[in-house]
A = this chain, B = another copy of it.
Amino acid sequence: METIFTERHRLRNSKTELFGGQLVEPFERPSRAEYIIGRVREVDLGPVSEPDDYGMDPILAIHDADFIAFLQGAWSDWQSAGFEGEAMPTVWPARRMSQKIPTNIEGRLGYYALACETTISEGTWEAAYASAQVALTGAQRLNDGAKSVFSLCRPPGHHAAIDMYGGYCFVNNAAVAAQHLLDTGAKRIAILDVDFHHGNGTQDIFDARDDVLFISLHGDPMDAFPHFLGHADETGNGNGDGFTINYPMPPNTDFKTWREALQRALAQIADYAPDKLIISLGVDTFESDPISFFKLKSEDFTTYGADIATLNLPTLFVMEGGYDIAEISVNTINVLQGFESAS
């Protein structure tokens, strides 16, 4: 399997994350991608290629243009305001409040954020742009005939909504890739999100559309980030009714239960008969992930990679979360090797 990767992910290297009422070293850090690319090379998964540059259009096909302009200027605007830390919102348009977009950078941060653990810092936009290009290049490889591709995206994307960032995500890489596939011949795309966290951004983007089936397996939002999307009764709206499927699961869910949800999801994808499949691949379902609560073991990742291969669809793996530094590389590559071994 070919891996698409760029060292430009290192441009996203924030110093602080708000966690437990403290500013800590971010869980989403450059070493994550370095561990994974190291493992790709160690097991000789396949060639590693630089992304091509598809420009801004595919990003603007998914995200609100004013939101993207905000992301591009936020760090500069924040510095101009004279603040000493990294850019973080402190107030947002809460219930019954106005949705007018403030001019002040603190106000705009709150308007465009859905979470505040994630700072915006020097290079954040540039890395997010490069990460989207990694996803786009992987998608194009499927168009060019590849059976499967691994887009080693960083920063991740699945929490980024039409016009909001948060949860370490700025541009929704999987959504950008899906739209590219639709714009280049595909009629239907399925996105299966196996990250521990609900892919609220992806759901938001495709909520009212029937050309993308979005299925997510995740920690119940009553208990887990992002807390405010991912309930089982969210099934899409308008034309998209029935094309969003959520499998929220409780703390301590083990692989047996998780795999039952996966098998249902795979059957639903088979029924949908998409032209291509995108996996939002987070490995924070691992039993010792520091910020999650599922109980998958390393060998389970191999098993479910093989399960996904039974769909026999051209498949793009887009890297999302996974924060147990020592093990994410093994678990990620296990999924890819499990998939390849069963293909």
Interface residue ranges, A against B (CB under 8 Å): 16, 18-23, 78, 82-100, 102-104, 106-107, 110-111, 113-117, 119, 161, 163-164, 166-167, 200, 204, 207, 221-229, 231, 234
Q: A14's closest neighbor in chain B, by CB?
A: B21
16 more A-B contacts (CB under 8 A) besides A91-B115, A100-B231?
A18-B88, A20-B82, A20-B84, A21-B83, A21-B88, A22-B23, A91-B116, A91-B167, A94-B228, A95-B161, A98-B229, A98-B234, A102-B221, A102-B223, A111-B227, A116-B116
**A229 proximity list for chain B (CB < 8 A):** 97-98
Q: A16's closest neighbor in chain B, by CB?
A: B21
9 smallest CB-CB distances across A and B, nearest first, come from A21-B85, A20-B83, A107-B227, A94-B114, A22-B85, A97-B228, A91-B115, A93-B228, A90-B117
User: What are 12 residue pairs bridging A and B, where the CB atoms are less than 8 Å apart in the complex?
Assistant: A18-B18, A18-B116, A20-B85, A21-B84, A21-B88, A91-B117, A91-B228, A92-B228, A97-B228, A100-B231, A102-B222, A107-B222
- CB A135 to nearest CB in B, in angstroms, measures 23
Q: A113's closest neighbor in chain B, by CB?
A: B94
- CB A154 to nearest CB in B, in angstroms, measures 21
Q: A97's closest neighbor in chain B, by CB?
A: B228
Taking a contact as CB atoms under 8 Å apart, the answer to whether A91 and B119 are in contact is no
Q: A230's closest neighbor in chain B, by CB?
A: B98
